[in-house]
Amino acid sequence: MAFITYKNVGIRAMAACVPSNIVYNKDLGYLIPEEEIEKTINAIGIRERRISDANTCSSDLCFKAAKKLIEDNEIDVNTIDVLLFLSQTPDYKMPATAPLLQNRLGLPNTTASLDLNLACSGYIYGLSSAFAYASQQGINRVLLLVGETFTKLTSPYDKVNWPLFGDAGTATIIEKGDYCDSYFELMTDGSGAKSLIIQAGEFRNPTTVENLQITEREDGNKRSDHQIYMDGMDVFNFTLRVVPKAIKNMLAALSIQPDDIDYFLFHQANKFMIDFIVKKLKIDTVKVPYCIDRFGNTSSASIPLTIVSELESKVRENEKIILCGFGAGLSWGTVYTELKNCAISSLIEY
């Protein structure tokens, strides 16, 4: 079990950017029978989403978030030692996107830049990687950029997935300082990998004329093998099996109770799922911020987006938080940390 403790490292500041284009799930009459639309919206908890245009990538949204964070906090870019970019929607197969962002942001050539690839649990894994780098001698500050444009990977004719996903980019500064101990638990079950998968387009299943075709699949959904497939019931059962246990494990490891935590930040998968977890764990709903109703499931960006959109424009002081991400891989991760004098920028649009 990967249970990791980091000392004297913490989150200094956060920012996020979403596309300005808003789409409304009430307008999905072409995909879902009109009489079922409101029922679908209530079940998933998503009324509107932000969708990027054809020329906007995850890196563009992350770039805007990073610029906002740097300007708001008057951060000297020369003090950023490591840049991590985490996404499943990079600019290119090669080169990695992190060096491109290093150049765009004007970071020095002494900045180590690295891409990470993980979906719904990605922010937790990326945060752990950032804490690990910042813990090392010679590294004081890490810029973690996490963003997705998952709508580019989703068929608009897939009634399971199209109402769910939205796009966003986020930026987090992690640095050495007088911070509390932070605790991470990271876990994986690759036996469930095919429950949430894009089946074609890489080297295991290269692109062909045939797998580019959008064809009718289960329950009348239409998509190509280059677009997201999700077995909703498998993912739902996985989540309800592992997430409550992961939260309980973290609380037990630290000998604390839910009442000791100021906020629980969950990956914004769908509202019914989160509500079930909250009820099972007997967490006060006031402690569980949501942003899924306005932004949808933004995959790895959903946890930092929730923090920025729901706790924005305030410096958080010594608030105890638990973050939990879960999804494709299958993988999941939980972290306990504190927001000590953490500056959260107001949400911006691009």
pLDDT for res 312: 77
Paired residues of 22 in beta bridges: 50
Helices (H) and strands (E) in the chain, counts: 8, 19
Residue of 226, 297, 324, 342 with catalytic role: 297
**Phi, psi (5° rounding) for residue 52?**
-75, 155
Average pLDDT over residues 20-40: 94
CB of 16 closer than 8 Å to CB of 301:
yes
Please state the rounded mean pLDDT for residues 48-57.
Answer: 97
Q: How many domains does the chain have?
A: 1
Predicted structure pTM score: 0.96
Q: 267 catalytic, yes or no?
A: yes
Q: Structural domain of residue 266, as residue ranges?
A: 1-350
Total Cβ atoms within 10 A of residue 238: 20
Integer CA distances (angstroms), 259 to 206, 266, 322, 323, in order: 50, 16, 12, 15
Alpha helices by DSSP H, listed for 254-319, are: 271-281, 292-295, 302-310
Reading the block at residue 320, the tokens are 């105890």
Catalytic pick among 17, 120, 291, 342? 120
Amino acid at 162: W
Which pLDDT score, from 0 to 100, does residue 318 have? 85
Taking CB atoms within 8 Å and a gap of at least 24, the contacts of 213-219 are: 214/155, 214/157, 219/159, 219/160
Query: Average pLDDT in the 216-221 region?
Result: 83
Rg (CA), the chain: 19
Assign 313 a pLDDT band (cuts: 50, 70, 90): low
Rounded Cα gap, residues 275 and 17, in angstroms: 26
Q: For residue 132, count other CB atoms closer than 10 A to its CB.
A: 17
Q: What is the pLDDT of residues 228-270, one digit of tens each?
A: 999 888 998 999 999 999 999 999 999 999 999 999 999 999 9
Bridge partner residues of 114 (DSSP): 84
The domain spanning residue 208 has which CATH number? 3.40.47.10
Counting beta carbons within 10 angstroms of the beta carbon of residue 217, is it exposed (0 to 12), middle (13 to 18) or buried (19 or more)?
middle
Mean pLDDT of the chain: 95
Which tens digit of pLDDT belongs to each residue from 124-155? Answer: 999 999 999 999 999 999 999 999 999 999 99
**Is 72 a residue whose pLDDT tops 70?**
yes
For residue 171, give the nearest of 349, 329, 17, 42 by alpha carbon.
17
The active-site residue, picked from 25, 57, 267, 270, is 267
CB atoms closer than 10 angstroms to residue 127: 28
Output the pLDDT for position 317: 81
pLDDT value, residue 217: 87
